[in-house]
Amino acid sequence: MSVSWWSFETLLPALLDIVAIGFILAVMAWIAVRRPGLVMIAFLVFFACVWRLISVFYIDAFGPVFSEQLERYVGPGLAALPLVASQALVIAALLVSFRPQRLRALAVEARGGLAGMLPAGRFDLSNLAFWTVLAYVLALWIELRLRGPIPLFAGIERFDYTRQYGGPLHQRLIEWGAMLAFQLGLFMTVPAMRGGKFDLRFAALFGAVLIYLFVVGHRFSSFYAYSSFFIIPVGVLLLREGADYRRFRRILGYFALAAAGLVALIAVALIHSYTVVRGSEIDLLRFKLTQRILVQQGEMWWATYERVFVRGDWNGALAMLKLFVAPFNPSSNSTMQFLMERALPLDRTYALLTQGQTYTGGWPEVLFEIGGPVDGFFLVAVSAVLFSEFMFLLTRCMIQERYVTCFFLTPILYAAAICVVSGMLNSFIQVTFMVKLAVAVLVYVMEDRWRASRMALSPNSTGAAVELARSHKMNDTSASISSVAYVGGMLAYLGQTVRARLPLIVLGTLVAMLVVFLADRARAPLYAAEATMRLGRIDGADIMQAQSTAIHMGSAAFKRRVEAAMPPSSGGDKGQALNSLSVRTQTFDLLSLTVYSASEQTANAALQAAVSVLNADQEKLRAPIVAEFNIQMAMIEANIAILMKARETLAVAESFSPSASADPASLALRRVWLIDLQTRNEEKLAVSANERRALEARLGPSKTFPAALSDDVTIRQVAPRPVRDALFAGAIVLLALLLYTMLSRPRLARMR
């Protein structure tokens, strides 16, 4: 669509966008030139920021442009300005966290390294990691060959292959592949951290994983994400104070060649996708690429900008509810689910989410949906500081060769990085994430205290021979770290630490488990009733949309009517049961109902009454439509009655007898005329009968029906579960006591 650039109304916003985007891109370019290591550490975020800026500028400057995914026009506007401000906060946080003073102090702390504390061993960590990952990659390729068709040759979409043919190893790669890539990059960089060469065995393993992704139909996003995690340790190497900066050019040259090969692989994957897998779209290739590159990256942000900054339409309470309490699918990114619900018709949103499809974006959209146009920037700043400080912590662990801690921090790294790119927040409230975080904290403290105890063995007290041997080993870049000495030493330190407070740890854990077991066992039983409800329809259309029905059933007024409709025999905790009523959308025409109660009978009665009250409420919407259908049906029935009477009249034999004239010609004409009347009458009768059947079908059971439970109510006891709760409480207390035990010891162990 042509734009008049000489119009003040269009030129001024474009200039503002150009100045803002030019500033942030110039800052990123300065960081890339002066501190390439920082760019590699946060490459996942930097690349996403640049791409989204370009997309939003295209929408702002050349809008309105049609969005295929939103099915509407977006732009023009000034959406780039708040996005630039948000990205500037992230860059500022990274520059503050990775300021030179902190890096120099970190380099001083890291002198000596892990190789200076441990003897070389046969089973070094790198070899152990290499053979383990090699076995997994080989098994992955074998599984691909045995499971079924190969997507590259069969033209199968990656989502379809994962859902229909993907084996357990493939599923684990999709879930944990980015974290595996980070570990491969870490072990590849370990020798270079000690002044040696890169361990290219792990680069070869990473290449094998990328080729596997190419064969199973992946295109750009997986290569981009996996490579971003893989190069994080390389960025740490470049940032480390005291590194040989003369090696920078050679290192970056190697990675430039690898990046060129990766770009070529992505180009082949994209060409194959659009020409083979999606061959029907080849005529729309230019349009599809424009949408993919210039529109889809920024369309969700533009929708949020229009909604929050232009119209002031934001609801933090609703956002929190949809993100953490009642998302469409709690096991995936609830942020994009909520943003799609806000930007698309609900039936289309649920159809896409049911197929496993989500759009691009999420950060910082979700933060402004929660906090609005002002408080949203505060939330952006908080997320930026948390991300940058965590990345510095990870950098510290890599420079100081805290490999066990790095391993347990990897899931946290994935959650933090994905949060800043796609705005995924619900992963932080999962019990599994909290367990991973608690274990990571425990391991970090344990390794920190163990290393402090090793450093406490001063060379002055052990003699010059030990110092000489240690210096010789530190200068030997080929020296390996014994995995037995490393892991065994940490476990031995843990055992030594625990032994001093073993009675407290054991007794505290057992007491906590016993208390929780007895208290939980004394609780009254609690049952959960679950069922799937099919929405009511009339003439093939939903009486109420799924989301509207869920909101309606969650209202206090609806629950009061349900409580009044429940039979007296259902029990005395009706109000408590209905307060726990949870309604969640499954698809565009199915809802999931869940209610908790102290008795099975009450829980079952609550669901049945909820459906009955819903039908009674929807009857008010159905009645006018049904009345209109009844009027149409009555008119058709009356018309049919008239036509049937006319048929009987024309069929009487006397109608064909001559009346006044016995002229044969007149008689023949009269017969022809009567036959024509009969034919026309029959045609009208057939049309009316078809109209009646069509109207009956519109009101028939296949197109018009009330809401009903589509399956039997499933009732299960959810409490008390004394054994499970006792074990969970015991694990929490055990972690807390272990952490307390290690923190309560002096940081430097005394010499014995």
The answer to whether residues 597 and 606 touch, using CB atoms and an 8 Å cutoff, is yes
Highest mean pLDDT among 263-267, 296-300, 344-348: 296-300
716, part of any domain: yes
Phi and psi (nearest 5°) for 716?
A: -140, 150
Nearest CA among 733, 735, 740 for reference residue 513: 733
732, part of any domain: yes
Phi and psi (nearest 5°) for 460?
A: -65, -25
Number of domains observed in the structure of the chain: 3
Nearest CA among 544, 530, 529, 531 for reference residue 706: 544
Question: In angstroms, rounded to a whole number, what is the distance separating the alpha carbons of residues 521 and 515?
Answer: 10
Q: Are residues 615 and 648 in the same domain?
A: no
Q: Are residues 513 and 533 in the same domain?
A: no
Question: In angstroms, rounded to a whole number, what is the distance separating the alpha carbons of residues 629 and 627?
Answer: 5
Question: In angstroms, rounded to a whole number, what is the distance separating the alpha carbons of residues 112 and 245?
Answer: 20
Q: Are residues 596 and 674 in the same domain?
A: no
Beta strands in 460-608 (DSSP E): 526-534, 537-538, 541-542, 582-587, 590-597
Of all residues in the chain, the percent with pLDDT exceeding 70 is: 85
Give the pLDDT score at 749: 42
pLDDT over threshold 90, residue 53? yes
pLDDT tens figures, 464-487: 334 433 443 444 444 456 677 778
Q: Are residues 541 and 614 in the same domain?
A: yes
List residues bridging with 716 in a β-sheet.
528
Distances (CA, A) of 690 to 106, 179, 539, 680: 85, 64, 17, 15
Q: Are residues 619 and 670 in the same domain?
A: no
Place of tokens 């900054």: 309
Q: Are residues 564 and 613 in the same domain?
A: yes
The amino acid that residue 112 corresponds to is: G
Q: Are residues 499 and 578 in the same domain?
A: no
Least confident interval from 102-116, 195-209, 263-277: 263-277
Q: What is the 8-class DSSP label of residue 656?
A: G
The answer to whether residues 70 and 299 touch, using CB atoms and an 8 Å cutoff, is yes
Between 125-147 and 168-193, two packed helices, what is the crossing angle to 10 degrees? 150
Q: Are residues 557 and 687 in the same domain?
A: no
Mean pLDDT estimate for the chain: 82
476, part of any domain: yes
Of all residues in the chain, the percent with pLDDT exceeding 90 is: 26
pLDDT over threshold 50, residue 224? yes
Question: Range of 495's domain?
Answer: 438-520+723-744
Q: Can you read off the two tokens belonging to residue 716?
A: 């299960």
The amino acid that residue 336 corresponds to is: M
Q: Residue 465 class from Cβ within 10 Å (0-12 exposed, 13-18 middle, 19+ buried)?
A: exposed
Give the pLDDT score at 195: 75
pLDDT over threshold 70, residue 145? yes
Q: Are residues 711 and 740 in the same domain?
A: no
Cα separation of the two ends of the chain: 81
H or E, element range at 74: strand 72-74
447, part of any domain: yes
- Domain end marker among 683, 698, 713: 698
Q: In terms of pLDDT, which residue wins out, 434 or 719?
A: 434
pLDDT tens figures, 709-747: 877 788 888 778 888 888 888 888 988 888 888 887 655
pLDDT tens figures, 28-40: 999 988 888 899 9
pLDDT tens figures, 332-369: 888 998 999 888 887 788 778 777 778 888 999 999 99
Contacts 24+ apart (CB under 8 A), 250-254: 252/36, 254/198
Question: In angstroms, rounded to a whole number, what is the distance separating the alpha carbons of residues 567 and 609?
Answer: 9
Q: Are residues 690 and 709 in the same domain?
A: no
547, part of any domain: yes
Q: Are residues 535 and 603 in the same domain?
A: yes
The answer to whether residues 534 and 590 touch, using CB atoms and an 8 Å cutoff, is yes
Cβ partners under 8 Å of residue 121, min gap 6: 480, 481, 482, 483, 484, 485
User: What CATH number does residue 586 fall under?
Assistant: 3.30.70
pLDDT band at 389 (very low <50, low <70, confident <90, very high): very high
198, part of any domain: no
Q: Are residues 479 and 594 in the same domain?
A: no
Give the pLDDT score at 21: 92
Place of tokens 């599994």: 432
229, part of any domain: no
232, part of any domain: no
